[in-house]
Amino acid sequence: MQSLCRLGRALVALVLCFGFQTWAHADGTWPATINIGIQKGDPLVALRASGELEKAFAPHGVTVKWKEFVYGAPLVEAINTGDVDVGAVGSTPPILAQAGAAPGVVYVAFAPRLQKSYGLIVPPGSPIQRIADLKGKKIAFAKGSQGHLFVLKALADAAIPASAVQFVYLNYSDARAAFERGFIDAWAVPDPRYADTELTTGARTILSIGQLSVPQYGFYIGTREFAQRYPAALRLLFDLLDRQTALELAHPAQTAQFLSQNTGVRLDIWSRALPRLEWGVHYPLTDEVIDAQQDSADLAYREHVIPRKIDVREAIVDIR
């Protein structure tokens, strides 16, 4: 408990120090409310639990509202309808948005390269050892999620056509049940659900997302209107988030306990997931990140995930 208190005091000190630096270059335009979309494994979960963002926004009269989503596609839809202003997603949802019915959704920041926080797993007794063994097998993931392009890229790297496997589109709870009952052969799943499944079922990883031939990144997205009108609000959010996550990852034991107490997810799950999470946020998008995301977009077009080719650069807003 004392270690948690020390971590909390450190976060408060961080906010106070950070606040004076950020407010000094703010452009003076602030929203009345900022609606933030979160998913279980992204760093915004810890920021929500800490309450520090509310303190940082209070001097500007900004109310913070949080909304939780199971995966990225529904979050994108909420941004498109105006229910959410900013949120963290994988590479697939913004590609679908730009190519489809949500062209107003834009990239505003990115997370570090994904390495071990997303895995393609099989049951412990499965004979499957590598991607080539998936021919003729059932692979589950949430349609439109990061897992969607993860699987497609894994197959492409192994020179296996998508038609050689069977995709099963399932949300987390349904995929977990299907995995445990042997109804699917493999499952692309992110932390902390990835860690939960490993600990509960003994699942075995045949590929981590960092093993793909082209880097994959997480992104922070919002509407073009919000990003262009309130860049100072986004800078405050991202600068605080990046500093806080660095502190949290430097104290994994305390952070795992803190998250367990505030999310209801078991301590052992967070303890396994935290070292694998690529937390942090950077802006603006670099050429390397843009090129990698363009590769994913081109793959999505070739595999008929999106109806038309897109230029990722057209969906980026520089909030500096």
pLDDT per position as a tens digit, 250-300: 999 999 998 899 889 999 999 999 999 999 999 999 999 999 999 999 999
For residues 191-210, average pLDDT: 97
Beta bridge partners of 105: 223
- Residue 185 dihedral angles phi and psi, to the nearest 5°: -100, -25
pLDDT at 309: 97
Which tokens is 209 given? 């997302």
Kindly report the length of the chain: 320
Instruction: Please report the pLDDT score of residue 27 as a whole number.
Output: 53
Asked if 204 contacts 126 with a C-beta cutoff of 8 angstroms, the reply is yes
pLDDT in tens, 111-128: 999 999 999 999 999 999
Q: Which residue has the higher pLDDT, 183 or 73?
A: 183
Q: Is the pLDDT of residue 24 over 70?
A: no
d(CA 13, CA 15): 5
Q: Do domains 2-113+216-315 and 118-211 have the same CATH topology?
A: yes
Residue ranges in the chain assigned as alpha helix (H) = 2-24, 44-50, 52-57, 72-81, 92-99, 146-157, 172-181, 193-201, 224-229, 231-250, 252-263, 267-273, 287-302
Q: Count CA within 13 A, CB hemisphere, residue 8.
A: 12
Name the strands in the sheet holding 217-223, side by side, starting at the edge strand that comes first in the sequence. Answer: 63-68, 33-38, 86-89, 217-223, 105-113
Per-residue pLDDT band at 22 (split at 50, 70, 90): very low
Question: From CA 270, how far away is CA 252, in angstroms rounded?
Answer: 9
More confident residue, 140 or 8: 140
CA dist 84 and 6 (Å) reads 33
| Residue (of 237, 176, 221, 194) closest to 54 by Cα position | 237
Whether pLDDT at 107 is above 80:
yes
Cis before residue 190, ω within 30 degrees of 0? no
Mean pLDDT (the chain, rounded): 91
Q: What is the CATH number of domain 118-211?
A: 3.40.190.10
Q: Are 38 and 44 in contact (CB under 8 A)?
A: yes
Distances in Å between the Cα of 224 and the Cα atoms of 6, 89, 190, 314 are 39, 16, 28, 11
Please state the rounded mean pLDDT for residues 235-263.
93
Residues 91, 238: Cα–Cα separation, whole Å: 18
pLDDT given for residue 16 in this prediction = 44
Tokens describing residue 51: 């309450």
Is residue 98 within 8 Å of 290, Cβ to Cβ? Answer: no
Residue 74 has pLDDT above 50, yes or no: yes
Cα–Cα distance for residue pair 319/230, rounded to 1 Å: 9
The pLDDT assigned to 28 comes to 61
Q: Within a 10 A sphere around the Cβ of 320, how many other Cβ atoms? A: 7
Give the three-state DSSP class for 30.
Answer: coil
User: Can you give the residue ranges of every domain in the chain?
Assistant: 2-113+216-315, 118-211
For residue 205, the Cα-to-chain-centroid distance in whole angstroms is 20
Task: Look at the block and give the residue holding tokens 């080539």.
Answer: 132
The overall pTM is greater than 0.85: yes
Q: How far apart are CA 246 and CA 153, in angstroms?
A: 30
Q: Which secondary structure element, helix H or strand E, spans residue 219, and what is its range?
A: strand 217-223
Q: Which CATH number fits domain 2-113+216-315: 3.20.20.80, 3.40.50.300, 3.40.190.10, 3.30.420.60?
A: 3.40.190.10
Residue 20 has pLDDT above 80, yes or no: no
Poorest-pLDDT segment among 20-34, 44-58, 119-133, 219-233: 20-34
State pLDDT tens for residues 136-168.
999 999 999 999 999 999 999 999 999 999 999
Structure tokens, 37: 């979309």
Average pLDDT over residues 229-243: 97
- Please list, in sequence order, all residues whose beta carbon lies within 8 angstroms of the beta carbon of residue 295, skipping any fewer than 6 positions away: 214
Question: Residue 135 pLDDT > 70, yes or no?
Answer: yes
Proportion of the chain above pLDDT 90, given as a percent: 82
Convert the pLDDT of each residue in 31-60 to its tens digit.
Answer: 999 999 998 878 898 899 899 999 999 999
Name residue 141's beta-bridge partners. 169
